[in-house]
Amino acid sequence: MKAKVRFLLAIVVLGLLMTGPFVVTSILVWAGMEESERNMLLELLMSRLPIGTMMTIFGFGIGVAVLHKLFKQYVEGLLGMAEQLRLMLGANRNFRVKLNGPPEVQQLAQAANDLAAQRDMLMDDVDARIAQANASVEEEKNRLAALMSELAQAVVVCNLDGRILLYNNRARLQFKALSQGPTTVAGGALIGLGRSIFSILEKNQVEHSQEIIRQRLANGKSAMANFVTTTRGGQLLRVQMVPVLSGTPGEGEPQMTGYVLTVDNITRTLEEEARRDHALHALTEGSRAALGSIRAAVANLIDYPEMDPELRERFVKVVDDEASRMSQRLDETMHEFSDSMKTRWPLEDVLAMDVISAAQRRIEDKLKLPTKIEDVDGTLWIKADSFSLVFALVFVAERLQDHYQIRDLRFRTSSEGKLAYLDIIWVGQAISSETFYTWEMETMHALGETSSLSLRDVVDRHGGEIWYQREKAAHRAFFRFVLPLATPEAEVADERRSTGRPEYYDFDLFKFEDKSIDLDRKLSELTYTVFDTETTGLEPSNGDEIIQIGAARIVNNRLLKQEIFNQIVDPERPLKPESIPIHGITEDMVRGQPNIDIVLPGFHAFCEETVLIAHNAAFDMRFLQLKEERTGLRFTQPVLDTLLLSAVVHPNQESHRLDAVLERLGIDIDTRHNALDDAVATGEVFLKLLPLLEEKGIVTVRQALEASEKTYFARIKY
């Protein structure tokens, strides 16, 4: 029975206790009286009835007030305490019951807090023992995570349903690049835990490769399959598949439970090879006619040595013109395909500053020669064999010190087109071309170490050049190393160094089954997209627009803070000045950003096949619903509201604002009123609410929706 119903019953009982004895006594007395006595009694009562009625009503009111006070302190107070105790038991161990109410209730609250402190001591001890027992498992897990994160190849692990269980940083960057185009926005990546690999690769090809692997396993052969596929954007991918096998060796045939994919984007390689082949073909065919003309002219010059001088001049002119055209054609081809015709020695993408710093340390430590930085671009990336290049710089420095007694060295970098320039500069005597040639061709010796390479070998390995030049005005000279620039992709790939190692693996997902969203599935079994919006104002129906959408995914009860959608939106209308201090988004920040027509399809793809979660979801969903006609997109999946779920779990708490819920559940966040940060905070709240909902018997999406609809806050409309 609900507390309010019990309070109403208590009032009824109080009324009966106050009036019941008088009514029963009056009936008994009335039944034993004569007619005349009854008339006298009626006259007496009629004269005294108003005073008695007022006294009864006054007494009843005092009784109701006292009863209400006791109900608030002992019934509702204890109910609120029970909710707080459940918080201590589950969602927030550090929460403590507030010492409010009468002394008896305060004593009970203090006893509960003391028990919680004792419980925490025991739990800390248990947690320490569990952490110690799991240390070796976590160590192995972290080793695998580190290995996967640092691999230069894109690696993806899937279960048999094609659901992604693991991927490394290279795969995330590669598929993010594949998903970006003129109509896509940041966050619209194709890859994510729990997502289907078939959104990237052809399902038929993957299943065919699985069948090949099963056949090879049955025949006792090495289990591996390779195929080339085309993405929706026309990119060519080379994929190698190896199986993930279950079972213990020696105990029956192993079963394939999943597969590992290594993926290479070979589009650029094939395009370059096709262009090179076309150029070589054109060069061959174009040179054939010129060679024919040259041969004919030379044959005439040889056969007729006494020919007329004017005619001889014409034949010589033919030879000269055709040779010039062939030379020009050859130069153009070499210039256009210089990158692809360089040596195939494997080069890594490195910061030029890192190479210079490594060379500086060795020169200063070993040669005791001071070095300085002069106009070095700290963001310049080059393709280099860093070991041989650093050794070459040290070799040059030692030669300059030994032969010309230089006092210091300076380093400088610059770039032009596809080339990077690394200069090593000194002040002093000029060197001769013969000396430079000798240094260039001899085997390098530096710091007591010997390399099998010469300076020319190092330069050729990089497909570059080296030259010597004087700066006469400054009385300086320098060697310039001409090196290939790294592609922009290499700059993006190193973003992991500043963000730490992300959690891109979840081995429990091997048990995941490919099912559509079912309202009767357990809340803990589903994949969620928790999102938030920042807007120009609070009135979506009166023209306010979205200016930011932020979202993160929850997979297998884990909030994946690296699988996010975060995009500022151009609202195509001025921002309200009073709202800018709240969300911190200015006119300059939205200017040039994509509008909602471009952003919403990306967000729709990001959250497909997931349940949506938001705090005060009715507000955010109203903005999305108003864009249905304009964009043709509808968000038809179930939507859970953490504001309503908080009201379900804690009906006796005063506030269910996000700030209040965060404080109540012991969740700390850095900033508020940023769409992505608020979405992440809402995700943390939802995960804390799950066990509290389960205590109330709410374990499925349907039950959560039905319970939410019964709360007072569900009546709010926008």
Query: How far apart are alpha carbons 264 and 236 in whole angstroms?
Result: 9
In this prediction, residue 683 carries a pLDDT of 95
CA-wise closest residue to 196 among 605, 638, 639 = 605
In this prediction, residue 460 carries a pLDDT of 87
Answer whether 413's CB lies under 8 Å from 352's CB. Answer: yes
Phi-psi bin for 148: left (phi > 0), alpha (psi -120 to 50), beta? alpha
Instruction: Give Cα 306 to chain centroid, integer Å.
Output: 82
In this prediction, residue 704 carries a pLDDT of 94
The number of CA neighbours under 13 Å toward the Cβ of 320 is: 6
8-state DSSP, 72: I
Answer whether 546's CB lies under 8 Å from 596's CB. Answer: yes
Let me know if 612 is exposed, middle or buried by CB neighbors in 10 A (0-12, 13-18, 19+).
buried
- Angle (CA) 78-83-87 rounded to 5° is 140
The pTM of the full predicted model, rounded to 2 decimals, is: 0.57
Query: How far apart are alpha carbons 165 and 563 in whole angstroms?
Result: 13
Structure tokens at 441: 């061709």
Report mean pLDDT in 10-residue bins for the chain, 718 residues: 67 72 74 75 70 72 76 68 70 70 74 77 80 74 68 85 87 75 50 85 87 84 82 80 75 80 82 71 72 80 82 83 77 60 64 90 92 88 88 93 91 90 90 88 88 88 88 86 73 39 51 66 92 90 91 92 90 88 89 92 90 92 90 91 92 87 86 87 94 92 91 70
Helix or strand or coil: residue 342? coil
Query: How far apart are alpha carbons 144 and 148 in whole angstroms?
Result: 6
Which amino acid, one-letter code, is at 380?
A: L
Task: Point out the residues that are catalytic.
Answer: 673
Rounded to whole angstroms, what are the CA distances from 9 to 6, 13, 80, 652?
A: 5, 6, 21, 20
Structure tokens at 18: 């106050």
Which amino acid, one-letter code, is at 109?
A: A
- The phi, psi pair for 416, rounded to 5°, reads -155, 120
Helix (H) or strand (E) holding 678: helix 675-695
In this prediction, residue 505 carries a pLDDT of 56
Query: How far apart are alpha carbons 660 and 615 in whole angstroms?
Result: 12
Query: How far apart are alpha carbons 692 and 167 in whole angstroms?
Result: 33
CA-wise closest residue to 519 among 398, 637, 387, 403 = 637
Query: How far apart are alpha carbons 112 and 121 in whole angstroms?
Result: 14
Answer whether 167's CB lies under 8 Å from 190's CB. Answer: no
Phi-psi bin for 252: left (phi > 0), alpha (psi -120 to 50), beta? left
Query: How far apart are alpha carbons 643 and 124 in whole angstroms?
Result: 31
CB neighbourhood size of 449 (10 A):
11
In this prediction, residue 188 carries a pLDDT of 47
CA-wise closest residue to 535 among 626, 439, 620 = 620
Answer whether 433's CB lies under 8 Å from 396's CB. Answer: no
Structure tokens at 86: 């459940």
Residue listed under structure tokens 């988004």:
585
* β-pair partners for 420: 415, 483
Answer whether 537's CB lies under 8 Å from 592's CB. Answer: no
In this prediction, residue 508 carries a pLDDT of 53
Helix or strand or coil: residue 528? strand
Structure tokens at 19: 């009036």
CB neighbourhood size of 229 (10 A):
16
Structure tokens at 248: 């213990």
In this prediction, residue 150 carries a pLDDT of 66
In this prediction, residue 306 carries a pLDDT of 80
CA-wise closest residue to 468 among 442, 429, 420, 415 = 429
DSSP string, 260-303: EEEEEE-HHHHHHHHHHHHHHHHHHHHHHHHHHHHHHHHHHHHH
Answer whether 544's CB lies under 8 Å from 598's CB. Answer: no
Answer whether 547's CB lies under 8 Å from 568's CB. Answer: yes
